[in-house]
Structure formats: structure tokens, C-alpha cells
Structure 1
Amino acid sequence: MPGRRIGFVSTRFHGTDGVSLEAAKWAQIFWTNKDESFWFSGKSDRDPAISSVIPEAYFGHPEIAAINEEVFGCVTRSPKITRRIQELADHLKGGIAEFVRHFEIDVLVAQNCLCIPMNIPLGVALTQYIAETNFPTIAHHHDFYWERDRFMVNAVGDYLEQAFPPNLPSIQHVTINTAGQQDLAWRTGCSSILVPNVLNFEEPPETCDLYSSDFRSEIGVAPDDILILQPTRVVPRKGIEHAINLVAQLRDPRCKLVITHESGDEGNEYQHALAEMAEHQGVDLRFVAARVGETRHSDAEGRKIYSLWDTYPHADFITYPSLYEGFGNALLEAFYFKKPVLVNRYSIFRQDIETKGFEVVTMDGYLTKDVTDGVRRVIDDVPYRDAMVEHNYHLALRFFGYTVLRRKLRSLVANLTGDDEL
């Protein structure tokens, strides 16, 4: 049987954001069955030969940003904004139709653009196209607008009800966690298939190669230091103050807390507060975002830039004290690289991950002596630590590996086409 032609649609397929990474994993599974993947977005780093890029599809496009500024945080909108949303939707709908026609797409995969209104015209355009054509579509929902405070006061309730997400017969909805699945059904009546985020646990990670072998020395961490890695962005919901408190309570001068990412677009106030907190508590805190990028390369000064995955093999312990996560990719990465981890028991962890039987050090919103002692034991007791990380790896292989994704995609495609070959 010839392979299918899968058309991925989103505001962007670029960089290492969660949506782009998960879409690439889906494409890899489709590709192994000789299906072909094609990409429609407003910003892209995919092969131009199999991509269609319309700038207005990107949520960061000036016109889209201007619309968002006008319709969120208020309860009325002007007729001018309504006209502009529909004009842009018509423009984007024409682009989607041409994308489908040009690449002879068989199934569309809408990646997070039919659930969170970062680009209202794109959501409206895609919804109208699917409604007019009854096109087979998988809508992969990572975040819903009702999960974000900034979208709760708005002047676009009609668009949110229409397109975020739409309830159409040719759409198979996908959610990434149980809470999202339940909320979707309760709010819209839409059923969905739960597809967790995954990693390729079937292929163990490589150990340090020559390029990444000097990461510790390049950031000033000695071989006998204890590198405690916080592999996240510096935003308040990551709860990084708990990681600082942990290191302070360990009272071991060998402990270095290393944070891999920048603050992003949410400002630097939180990072400044963390730096002051660490200094006050005598914690050696290092922000190394200037040395960690999306890919390996050299900066303008000729210094090595490492990938995020170059950092994990050097870690002795991972902190993940998030207050909220849609799923928890960094936690899967800790399991993948066989590293012990501290987890603040955020709701999705409790519901979808902890119940599988993973062995991690947990906290419930605050550090206790038992939590600190648990971390200390993991760091000091090598046989105990090795047994823990091996257990987690094999459990993650069962529940969050590519085999799981392949099985889920087979079900999704069968629901849409009646064909269960994958």
C-alpha cells in the first residue's frame, strides 16, 4: 500500500518549543511507515521543498500581535478588528487549500493551533476549511485557552467557541494528559484519544562524545563537583526557588545549581530574584543559557555552544520543582538519560506519570527534611541510585516510548480512514 501524505499545520515549526518537537516525533513515526510529511506554518526550519510558509500564520506576525492586543484583556472589539480577522482567515484558508492541493495531502495534523488562540485567524481559517471539505484531520491539543489566565478576559468568545477547538465530524481530537481530555469533553462534548508526549526510549542515548566532553570545565564545574541541573526556562511556574532551597539545605559546597535556559519573553525579574536568593543563601547558581542552544555551534567569540542534550550526561541530579506543566518533557528526558530527579507533584505528574510507578524524590509544594534527606541519599548511595534510574528507564520505555506513539497513531488513522496500517 502506498504511504499517506501527512500535512502538519501550526503557527510555527521552528526551534525547540514543545509543539515543534512533538510534531517532529510524530513525523518520524509516520516516516518509518513510508508516509511523507509536509509542513504549513508561519515560521519554519523544515525543508523548504516540503513546506509552505505564509507569514501571517505565525503568532508573532505584527498583524496577529496587533489583533491579540486588541481582543484580550477587554470584552468588546471593533468592527474593524472583526473584518480584519475574517480577511486574514480568508487569506490563510486559501493558503491551506493550496497546501493541500499542491502536496496532495491525505490527512491534516493541526498542531496546537485549534486549541490555544495565539493566532485567531489561523484557527478560524483551518476550522472553516475542514468544515467546508470534511477533510480528515487530527487535532493535537497541547494547551487549551481556558488553562491560561491571559485569555480568560476576551472579546472573541464567538471565535473561541467556533474554532478553539471546533466540534466537527471529520476531526479526531488528541489530548496529551488526562485533565485536558476530561476538560475537553466537559466543555465541548468532544471525545479525544490520549497521546502522551514520548521519547525514543527504544534507542538509548549516547554517552558524552568528544564535542560535549568538556561541558563541565567550560562552565567552571570541577570533576568532583555535584552538578545539579535545572533544564528549564527561567519562568515562575518552574518553581526554581525550590531548587535553590534544596541546594542550600544540602549544605555541600560541591553542589552547583546549573540552569540551562533563558527567561524568554516573560521578562528577567524572576531571574534577578533567583540570583539574589541564591546569593543570600550561599548557593552557587549558574545561568548557562549563553552556552546552551538549539544546536551545537560556535558563538561570535568562538566559544562552543552545546545542545540541551549535551548537558544531561554531565548532571548528577535533576531538579524539576514545577508548579504546573502540560506534561513534563524535561522529566522524560531525566528518565531517558538515567538521571535521578526531584519532582514537585504538579497535577499532571500525579495523574498521568506518578501512577505508573516511577521512583523519584517528590515534594508537595515545599521542601521538608525528608525530601532533602532523600536527595542526599540518591546522590551518595550509588547502588540505590543506579537501581532507581534503571527502573525508571524501563518503565518509561513501556509507557512513553515510540512504540506507544506508533500504537496511538495507528488508532487515530484508522478512525479517520478505516486503514490501520502503520
Structure 2
Amino acid sequence: MRVLMAGARFSGLDGVSLEAEKVAEGLAALGHEVVWLAGELEPWHEGIELPEMGLFTEEARSLYDLAFGEEGEDPALEAAVEAAGARLHAGIEAALEGVSFDLLLVQNAWAIPMQLPLAVALFRLWRGRGVPAIAHNHDYYWERPRFSKNRIPNVLERYFPPKGPVHLSINHAAIRELKRRRGMESLYLPNVMPFERPLPPPDAFARGFRRAFGLEGKRILLQPTRLVPRKQVEKSVELAARLKARGHEVALVVSHPGADEGDAYPKRIQALARERGVPFYWIGERVGPRRDEKRGVYALMDVYPNADLVTFPSRYEGFGNALLESVYAKKPLWVWPYPVYEEDIRPLGFRFFEPGAPIEQVEEALATPEALAPDLEQNYRLAREHFGYRRLISVLEEALREARAGTPL
């Protein structure tokens, strides 16, 4: 079966892009072909890159700015969104001329209304082609306060998400809310990592990471997130400052770009790090989903083995890529107890540091990492059981059965 994987962006280190790659691996393991369609693609994707589908087109940004921030239904604005979606659909169909597919898999474009015309266009594509559809929903709009005041309630009701596709939700709270708000069921597909395929030891390029950034002799605190407010990078700065005050040579490394939310927060964090005397390395331009040795770009999994402690103080996550990545790399993790962690992850028995942990325990992890080996192995076993590719394959098989039967949950 040929699956059209569609969304605004499959590029970089955002969670949607990373999980879409894993879904594509799962589909390939089941014998299916994936064709990619998005506003941004990586060079290795086989598919169609159509810039009009991107998150930051002039029209998409204009409609977004008009739609959110004020309350009250605006029929003219809703009509403008529909018209823009119809135009984009025509462009997509033109780009897909001669391309057939058996199933449409939409990544988050029917969940979070960042690109309003795209949701309409993909809905029209789905209905026009008459194929089954699966929606992998990472962030429902009601989970984000900035969408609570809007002028397009009918657009949100119809397309975010639409009735008919098989829906995949990434946490149990999202499953409950989708049922409560829309009467729709969804399958639970948490974020995953290939725990059945252990991370190989770092090669020469990965081992050169510290030297490349002047980090020899320092304990690396790695925050593997974007530099945006909800990631609470200031908490990591404060942890690094506490360790530094206790005599540890530490450095805080942020591996992802800021992206999407302006430069005010990155500037504030950089100023805070200077104020607290914390060596701060923001290296987002040198880290990608795959390495490029000629350009000096490291894959994310080149970076993790060099960390002494992973910090993840995010106040909200749909699931939490960084948490699973740290377990996959067998690194100790300092995690803020965000709601999905408290419901879906902590009860499984993982052993992480939380903010209430004595600083001496964190120091011990830095000084004698071998003492944590039993906990790290236990974390790995739990993650392989609950968040490995076997889980991914199982959920995809169920979703495909439902979609092909034409009886979505």
C-alpha cells in the first residue's frame, strides 16, 4: 500500500517531524511505501515539497493573526479560510498529478491550527480522492491557551480534527478530551524510540563533539529542546548555577533552535546565564536529525552520548521526546513533572531526578555515573516494553485495519 504522509513540515528536530520519521519506519516494516508531502522536507525524503503548505507562508500567517486573540464568530473570515484552503487544495492536486496513493496520513495539520488553509486543503484532498485517512494528532488546539479566543469556531469544529479519519492521540488526557469535546475515539500512540535496536557506541565524529565546542573537562548538562518559554530553560540555568557554586565545572548545552516564537526568550536566557556565570552553548545550527560531517552538523544521537546529565524542565509536553531519547542513550534525566509525565510515564516505574531531589544526588550522578547503571538499565527495559517499535507497529496495524475497513473508532 502507498501512504501519503502529509503535513506542514517534516524537517528539523521538532517532535512532529521526529515522530513522523518513526511512523514511516513502522509503515516500511509493515511493507508499505511512504510518499512525503509538506511545505518543508529533508533531502532524503522521497516526495513533494510544496512551499505553500509551510507554516510561515504570508497567507497562513495573516489568517492566523486574524483568527486568534479575539472572541466572536466572523463568517467573512471563516469564508476566507475556506477559500484559501480551496486554492491550496488545487495547488496540491496539481503537484500530485500522476501520483496515486491508497491512504492519507496527516501529521498534526488537523490538530493544531497553525496553518488553517492546509487543514481545509487536506480535508478536500481526502474527500476528493476517496481514500481512507489516519490523523496523527500531537497537539489539539484546546491544549494551548493562545487558541482559546478565536473568531473561527466553525472552522475549528469542522477541521480540528474532522470526523471520519482514524485518530491517533499521543497521551491519555488527549484521548479523554477528544471524546468529551467531539465524541470521537482515538488510539493511543505515545512517542517511541527503537529500543529494540540499541544505540551503537559513539564513533570518532561523535567523540569529537566536546572538542568541537570547547567543552573538554566540563560536565555537560544537555537540554535537548527548543529555546522557547514552555521548555523553562531558566530552570536548567539555575540547576547549573547551583552545581557551579558547589565547585563543579559545568556547561549548559541547548541543542535545538529557538524557532517559531521570536528571539525575546533566547535573549533572556542568554542574559540569565551570563548573570549566573553559567557557560551556555546554544548549538541548534550545528545539530540536526541526521549528521553532516562536511558541514560539522551532529545528529541528535551524536550529542546525547556526550552528556553527563539531561535536563528536561518543560512545563507542558504532548508526550516528551527528550525523555525517551535520554533513556535510549542511557543518560540520567532531571525532569519537571509535567502533566503527561505524571499520568502516562512516572507510574510505570521510571527512575529520574525531579526538582525535589537533593542536589547531592545529582552531584553523585555526575561524579560516579557508574553507580546509576542499574537505574538506567531498568529505565531502558521499561521503555522497550512500553515505548518501543513493537508498540508502534502494533498501533499502526490496528489503525490501518480500522481505516481500510472504513469504520474508524
Fold shared by both chains (TM-score > 0.5): yes
Matching residue's letter, 2:123: T
Provide the alpha-carbon RMSD of the alignment. Answer: 2.4
Q: Deviations 1:373-395 (Å, cap 9, x if unpaired)?
A: 22123223444311111111111
TM-score, normalised on structure 2?
Answer: 0.91
Q: CA deviation at 1:207?
A: 1.8
Alpha-carbon distance in structure 1 between the residues aligned to 2:39 and 2:296:
30
Find the partner of 1:345 among 337, 351, 357.
Answer: 337
> In the alignment, is the contact (CA less than 8 A) between 2:78 and 2:152 conserved in 1?
no
> In the alignment, is the contact (CA less than 8 A) between 2:105 and 2:135 conserved in 1?
yes
Q: 1:254 to 1:164 in 2, by over 3 A?
A: same
Q: Would you say 1:34 and 2:21 are equivalent positions?
A: no
Q: Which residue is 2:5 aligned to?
A: 8
Alpha-carbon distance in structure 2 between the residues aligned to 1:418 and 1:76:
39
Q: Would you say 1:25 and 2:17 are equivalent positions?
A: no
Matching residue's letter, 2:341: F
Q: Would you say 1:242 and 2:238 are equivalent positions?
A: no
Q: Deviations 1:81-108 (Å, cap 9, x if unpaired)?
A: 4444233222333455567773331111
Q: CA deviation at 1:129?
A: 4.3
Q: Would you say 1:313 and 2:310 are equivalent positions?
A: no
List aligned pairs for 1:71-150, cutoff 5 A.
71-75=67-71, 81-95=77-91, 102-131=98-127, 135-150=131-146
Q: CA deviation at 1:346?
A: 0.5
Q: Would you say 1:322 and 2:303 are equivalent positions?
A: no
> In the alignment, is the contact (CA less than 8 A) between 2:193 and 2:328 conserved in 1?
yes
Which segment is superposed worse, 104-113 or 330-339? 104-113
Alpha-carbon distance in structure 1 between the residues aligned to 2:350 and 2:57:
42
> In the alignment, is the contact (CA less than 8 A) between 2:166 and 2:399 conserved in 1?
yes
Alpha-carbon distance in structure 2 between the residues aligned to 1:378 and 1:318:
11
List aligned pairs for 1:25-64, cutoff 5 A.
25-45=22-42, 50-64=46-60
Q: Residue 358 of structure 2 aligns to a residue in which SS?
A: helix
TM-score, normalised on structure 1?
Answer: 0.88
Alpha-carbon distance in structure 2 between the residues aligned to 1:25 and 1:297:
20
> In the alignment, is the contact (CA less than 8 A) between 2:24 and 2:34 conserved in 1?
yes
> In the alignment, is the contact (CA less than 8 A) between 1:234 and 1:240 conserved in 2?
yes
Q: CA deviation at 1:298?
A: 6.5
Aligned residue pair count:
404
Q: CA deviation at 1:46?
A: 5.5
Q: CA deviation at 1:146?
A: 1.0
Q: 1:412 to 1:96 in 2, by over 3 A?
A: farther
Alpha-carbon distance in structure 2 between the residues aligned to 1:77 and 1:179:
28
Identity of aligned residues (%): 35
Structure 2 unmatched runs, 5+: none
Q: CA deviation at 1:234?
A: 1.3
Which segment is superposed worse, 85-94 or 398-407? 85-94
Alpha-carbon distance in structure 1 between the residues aligned to 2:219 and 2:12:
30
Q: Which residue is 2:209 aligned to?
A: 215
Alpha-carbon distance in structure 2 between the residues aligned to 1:90 and 1:138:
21
Q: Would you say 1:362 and 2:354 are equivalent positions?
A: yes
Alpha-carbon distance in structure 1 between the residues aligned to 2:112 and 2:57:
16
Between the two structures, name the one with larger relative contact order (CA 8 Å, sep ≥ 6): 2
Structure 1 unmatched runs, 5+: none
Matching residue's letter, 1:287: W
